[in-house]
Every structure is written in C-alpha cells, then in structure tokens.
A and B are shown apart, each in its own frame.
Chain A
Amino acid sequence: MKNRIDSCFEQLKAKNKKALITFITAGDPDMTVTEKNIMEMLDNGSDIIEIGVPFSDPIAEGTTIQKASLRALSGGTNLDIIFDMVRNLRKQTQKPLVLMMYVNTIFKFGTEKFFGLCKECEIDGVIVPDLPFEERDEIQAYADQNDIYNIYLVSPTSHERIEMISKEAKGFLYIVSSLGVTGTREKITTDLNYLLEPIRNGNHCPCCIGFGISDGEQAKKIADYCDGAIMGSAIVEIVEKYGKDSPVHVGEFIRSVRNTLDN
C-alpha cells in the first residue's frame, strides 16, 4: 500500500494547496479529549496529524509542550494506551498519522515491537527529534521493514548537511524554522530562502516548516516558501487553556488557520 503521506501531498499538489500539519500531545488532559481534538483538527482542515508521545525530559521542547507532556504523564499516558487510541482513530479516518517522540521511548519499549505495532495500528511515520541522521540506524531498518517513514529534520545550522539529509528524506522533510526549542514566536527571523536553497533544486520530497508558527497569517507566510506549515505549541496552548472543553476551540482555530492558508 502507498504511504498515506505520499498520497496526501499528491492530492494537495493537484489542488494547488499547502499542507497543514498539526501537533498535539497525547493524553493532555486525557486520551478521550486527545482523540476528539485529533478528529476536530482533521474535520476542520488539518492534513496530517503529529501525535506527540509525552516524554519526561523533552529537551527539544519549549515550556508549552514540556508542561503538556507532564500533564499527560501524570495522567498515566503511555505508548500502549496511545496505540489503542490510534486503533480507534483508524476506524474514523484514513488521513496520515505520525508519532512524534523521543528515541528512548522507542528504544526502551523495544524498537522491533514498536514498529510492528505502528504497522498494525496503521501509523504512517515517526519524527524523532533527538535521533540525528547519523544515528538513524537505531531505527531505520525496522521502520523500512514496516513501511513507516522516518521523517528527517533539518535546521538553520544544518548548512551542508541539508543536501545529504534531503536526498534520503521520505514523506516530507521537516524544516526547523529557527534556532532553539518548540514554542510560538512573534517573528521568524531565519533567512528561509537561504535555508531552502540546497533543497530547491533536485528531486526531493515535500518540505514543511515548523517551530514557532503561532497563527494563520504566519502559517501562510511560511508556506509560501515550501509545501506546508507545521503547528504545535499554538494548539497545545488552546488545550492548556480549555482542557476538557478544548475540542470545539481547537476545531475553530484549525478552521481559521486553514481559511487563511488557502486564501
């Protein structure tokens, strides 16, 4: 079967639209609300969902996602429960679902067992922010065997590494917009043209930019440079504010971002 991420970008391209990729921390404030939030996001215009597997020590995250991870973990969220939720989601949607997680949560769970479950639950990809390209062998063979994409990241400090990484990228290339950790920013000051230069030429998979995108206007500006925008902390902030009542607000927010992005 074709990976859903590839089909998604093909469809978007045919419609001349940009991808809206949205992140949420699983289990914040509980799994039922997360499942509702994910369906709200998909119903209101998200193309791909990044399900954040909470980790005790998320070194690539700013305070918003750190706090969300703690809320989720203190509620007893774990990978088995998250896979249960994904099984439920697959009864409701065929859109791409990817897991965003730290390498230790894969390694300690058992890399082989993990990717087997990903396949069984129809996960399409993983994003592992603390597993750089050089250490990809830690998971790559298992990911490949199970047709799960290991989505690579490049950042403003990647320079000559961009070409090496983008050549092997599958699904989409995750472009980190700014130095530092996740979290909404007032402005993204990185020279995105420079960052994307090495990728522009050559036959590559789609590129999407994330880190620091706080609203629809910013998403639209960013998406002009590439194939899609990734939003995380802005959504987690809504969950933090509204808790169990967040799904309606998350849905509204995604709808407005989608409208801005498409117009």
Chain B
Amino acid sequence: MDKIGRFGEFGGQYVPETVMTAVHELEEAYNKYKDDPDFNKELQSLYHDYANRPSMLYYAEKMTKDLGGAKVYIKREDLNHTGAHKINNVLGQILLAKKMGKRRVIAETGAGQHGVATATVCALMGLECEVYMGKTDMERQSLNVYRMNLLGAKVTGVNSGTSTLKDAINEAFRDWCSNIDTTFYCIGSVMGPHPYPTMVRDFQKVISAEIKSQLMEKEGKLPDAVFACVGGGSNAMGAFYNFIDDKSVRLIGAEAAGRGIDTPDHAATVAKGSVGIFHGMKSLFLQNEYGQIDPVYSISAGLDYPGVGPEHAYLNSIGRAEYVDITDKEAVHAFEYLSKTEGIIPAIESSHAVAAALKIIPNMDKKQIAVINLSGRGDKDVYSIARYRGVNINEE
C-alpha cells in the first residue's frame, strides 16, 4: 500500500462530509483493536466455536482424475456457519461495532449471504439489524429474505435503479448518513471507503492463511494456482492475500460474464470496466463515457455489481492476479458438475470459480496443485438453477 487507504492509485475515501467523522472513527477503532490480544482472542474463539473454523481443505480426487491436470483441492468455506465466507468478516466487524458502542447495524446484501451473516451475528450479539436488498434480489433469493427475518433482522427492499446490489449499497449509505451516531455500517465486501477494503480483507485473510498451512501439512508445498470468484471480491482477497508475495502462485479471479462480455448483460468489471470513483473508492467500474454507472447483469446476485474492490484493481494493474470471465452458462454447468462429481452443491457465485478451474486445470501439470475457494454453498440457488433449466419445483 502506497499511502494510507490506497492500493497504488486505487482506494481512498470518497464519501460525503456527513460520513467523514464516522469513517475516521472506524479507522481509529480498527487500528486500535486489530492488534489487540483480547479482541483477537475473542474473534478467534468466535471463528472456532461459532463459525466452525478452520474450514476444511478437501482433496477432490474424482475431479482431479476427471480433469487430468493439477491436483485439485477445495477450500470449504461453504461449510462455515451461515454457509459462506461472509461470516468471517461479519464476526470481525460486529465485534468492532460492539466495542465502539454502536447499537444498530446496517448492511447491504446481494445474494443474501452477507445479509444472513449480519443478521446472524446481530442476533448473537443483541444488536438491532436492518438489511438493504434490491427488490430483484429479494425475488430471486426469497429463501435468504425469510432467513434474515427469522433471525430478527428487518429487510428493506430497494426499488431504485436496477434494484440490485449497487442500489442496496446506495440506500445503506443514505441510511448511514441519516443515523451516523447510532449506526455501524457493516459492508460485505472489500469495497467502499478506507478502511473497509483493508479491514474486510484482514477479516477474510484467514482463508489463505489456513490454505497455506493446511496444504503445507498435506503436500509440503505451496499451491500453484488459487481460484476464487470476484464480485466485490472479498472471498478472493481472503484466498489470495497470504500468497501475494509468493510469486509462483497464480491468483485467478472469476468474474461474472452473464450472457457474455460482448453483450450488455454482464458484470465483468475488470474485463470491461474503466477507472472511476464510486461507492467511496477509486477503482474499476462498468460505466459510460459520462461516468454514469452501467446496469449490470449476472445469474448470480452476489456477483451482480458494477465495481470491484480497489485491491483487486491494483493486483490487476500490476499483473499479480489474473481475472477470467465466466458466463451464466459455464457457471451453471460448473454448479451441476461439482454436485455430480464431488457431491458438493456450490453457490452459484462460487460456481464461477469452479468454472474457471474447469477451464484452466486440464492445462496444468499433474505435479501441480490448484485450490478452488468454494466461498459458499448452493442450497439457496437450487430454485433459480431449476428455473434456468426450465424445471418447476414449486410445491404447490
């Protein structure tokens, strides 16, 4: 990082004045607690006893044989409590919110995984919780809406713009501006104004720390490639972070190409975006020549975002990480492939990482090792995949 809150030219703190004091308070609190032994002890015990960490690193033998390339390991973030990597970040942030004396937590959510994780930890810690979610996403992820309600959170539908993740973030920002004294904004990805991209990455980097030690134990070496899907990019930053200095490890992010990156219906920010300033950060965004943010599309509500975290923009700019585009069709195929081959139903988001692995692993050497970060489980997606396949599984 070049200067505070920057990754090369990316990052920064582009927020309204009303939020500046809160952003500074958060920065101060985070700096105070991040190396505090008591805070970390508490967080570690929550990771272990509540969230079921460490997550397993599973050798996918059938998949390895089938693909005939590198040895495939799957990092089972899908087995965490609440079913995705999102809980890692939420436990960290809400523990921090508690220390800061905040009574109310707000969050945005796309697929609903971050919303569910936030609602879960708020229930655990006795905090009021309101989750903003685009109306379109509420329809395609109705199961998660019900889960959040069950956990005692209020889910507020957002009808503006494209009624998806970006609009939910806009509305959460507006709420934060209105309730700044009482409210902690728990951002779900490595995005937003500093310190969020750094803080969220720090709460997620446990993923790559575990991969490293687990693989060292099993194979006695580093992986040759790490695959992760990228929307805002938190599971990918978590899976990449501890390998950034290990130059032999290929870091491969899978972006959502929707109906194809040559159509308007995709969310492939690194492939098709340009540098802009939005949602508090300088990064890559899908936008027109006048800086209006493009409507984006993906079958996956969690990757349906027109931007990417600033550290990814940076890793891309220096060529340290590579980003590939995966279409809906390829992701759905990977969803079904992993279900049938390994008996693991992946989230449609994580299926993008699996799809990238299916393309690249066959070309790798048999002596090499690839790790797929399986960021979430796919129970929530079964309805929409069935619908995609033209199968009606409604009970009525």
Contacts and interface: CB of A to CB of B under 8 A. Distances in A.
A109 to B, nearest CB: 6
Interface string A34-68: 00000000000000000000011111101000100
Interface residues of B, number: 37
Contacts of B324: none
B14 A135 contact: yes
A13 interface: no
Interface string A154-169: 1111110100010000
A108 interface: yes
B174 A132 contact: no
Interface stretch (B33-41, B175-183, B237-245): B175-183
A179 B291 contact: no
Contacts of A57: 161, 166-167, 170, 278, 293
Interface in B258-292: 274-280, 285, 287, 289-292
B17 A179 contact: no
A179 B22 contact: no
Contact of A104 (B161, B173, B181, B291): B291
B13 A158 contact: no
Contacts of B292: 55-56, 73, 105
A179 B14 contact: no
Interface string A134-158: 1100100000000000001111111
Interface residues of A, number: 41
B150 interface: no
Interface in B1-33: 12-22
A103 B277 contact: yes
Contacts of A159: 21
B290 A132 contact: no
Contacts of A157: 17-22, 180-181
A105 B288 CA distance: 10
Contacts of A106: 291
A117 interface: no
A66 B287 contact: no
A131 interface: yes
A185 to B, nearest CB: 11
A158 B17 contact: yes
Nearest to B166: A57
Interface string B148-167: 00000000000011000011
A180 B177 contact: yes
Contact of B276 (A58, A62, A104, A154): A104
A86 to B, nearest CB: 16
Contact of A134 (B18, B20, B277, B280): B20
Contacts of A73: 292
Contacts, number: 114
B17 A154 contact: yes
Contacts of A66: 160
Given A107-B291, A132-B13, A138-B277, A158 B20 contact: yes
Given A57-B278, A103-B277, A108-B274, A131 B14 contact: yes
B291 A153 contact: no
A28 B16 CA distance: 24
A176 interface: yes
Most buried by A among B12, B170, B275, B279: B170
A133 B17 contact: yes
Contact of B13 (A56, A60, A134): A134
Interface string B288-314: 011111000000000000000000000
B20 A179 contact: no
B15 A130 contact: yes
Interface string B45-67: 00000000000000000000000
Which has the most chain A C-beta neighbours within 10 Å: B12, B170, B174?
A: B174
Which one of B15, B166, B181 has the highest number of Cβ atoms from chain A below 10 Å of its Cβ? Answer: B15
B189 to A, nearest CB: 16
A78 interface: yes
A158 B180 contact: no
Nearest to B280: A130
Contacts of A108: 274, 276, 287, 289-291
Contacts of B170: 57-59
Contacts of A179: 18, 177-180
A188 interface: no
Interface in B167-216: 167, 170, 173-174, 177-181
A234 B278 CA distance: 27
Interface in A98-115: 102-109
Contacts of B22: 157
B180 A130 contact: no
A104 B21 contact: no
Given A104-B278, A158-B21, 20 more contacts: A56-B161, A58-B170, A59-B173, A60-B177, A78-B290, A103-B277, A104-B277, A105-B291, A105-B292, A108-B287, A108-B289, A108-B291, A129-B17, A130-B15, A133-B17, A134-B13, A152-B17, A154-B17, A157-B19, A181-B174
Shortest beta-carbon contacts, A-B, top 6: A108-B291, A180-B178, A104-B291, A155-B18, A56-B292, A105-B291
17 contacts: A55-B291, A56-B161, A56-B292, A56-B293, A57-B293, A58-B170, A59-B279, A60-B174, A104-B277, A129-B16, A131-B14, A132-B13, A132-B14, A133-B20, A157-B18, A157-B19, A180-B177
